[in-house]
Structure 1
């Protein structure tokens, strides 16, 4: 039996998680055997049928995670990301019990990419004299108190355009292999890390 199956909304999320799970020491967990699968229906598909999809794996994996972006899932106007996460947890627990958890990322997985400037500069081969964040501020992007752009996906797209490189899934993995996982301030990533630590402590 493998340790973990993860159902994600798209390849960007898959590659971001691959980069993180490939660094178990940085997450504070033991090395894992894991499998990550993108859902064909993206965020809305994970929301509506993800628990049913994962139910088929309850005998093959000891634990399961289900990840989706809140932005684009189809329920942004109806409830908060946390209330949706609670509903999805209830669905998972019907089959998995305490062995499964959902993570609804608000607003979207791109928020996990915004670690230190040095890690971003290295991963993105940033060559401008000013930092990535200063470059974005000069172009009208706003940041929260933790230094995360309020529009993380659009900010990353702007940086990739400036570098004349596509915003590919490989960039997500390259960044999550470099940014600090222990000091990430994003609450959804903190919940993910806490859950993994609870299941897979060294």
Structure 2
């Protein structure tokens, strides 16, 4: 099977007169860098042309596959890290909400007490005591809002990463299908050419 593929590629390369070795050196260097979409575009642009088809070397396709899988693996790792960060933020927000509830309960009890309230061993006026407590609540509320914004941003980034992962997976599947269709078409053409040659004999 592999020998047949190699024979087909060599046959088409001989017809089109394309220097495969030079292309291989250029694409090998290009396939090692740049975005995946750019690597696909460069491979298609630099591949041999046969009528309205493009002939892509098998090792280029394997290289592209490896690059795509590496990108997918990196995205999966990033998504896992973001999800871990989100879980951590959820835990922190839950803890802060719990602290806010406790602080509110303490504040409600303080309001119902007499005007002079003992605080840290000192008697404080009710207004001053309430100011201190509300200041603490405000600080906690600001902290909770900040953590919520961080959580929202992480959630947004995670959604973007999942969307990019899905797009990349669709792009890879589409490219794989196109490559298979091209290979089948080339095989049929090659078989027709062989049948013609045999018919002349």
Q: What's the TM-score, normalizing by structure 1?
A: 0.20
Structure with larger RCO (C-alpha < 8 A, sep 6+):
1
Larger Rg over CA atoms: 2
Tell me which protein shows more helix as a share of its residues.
2
Tell me which protein shows more strand as a share of its residues.
1
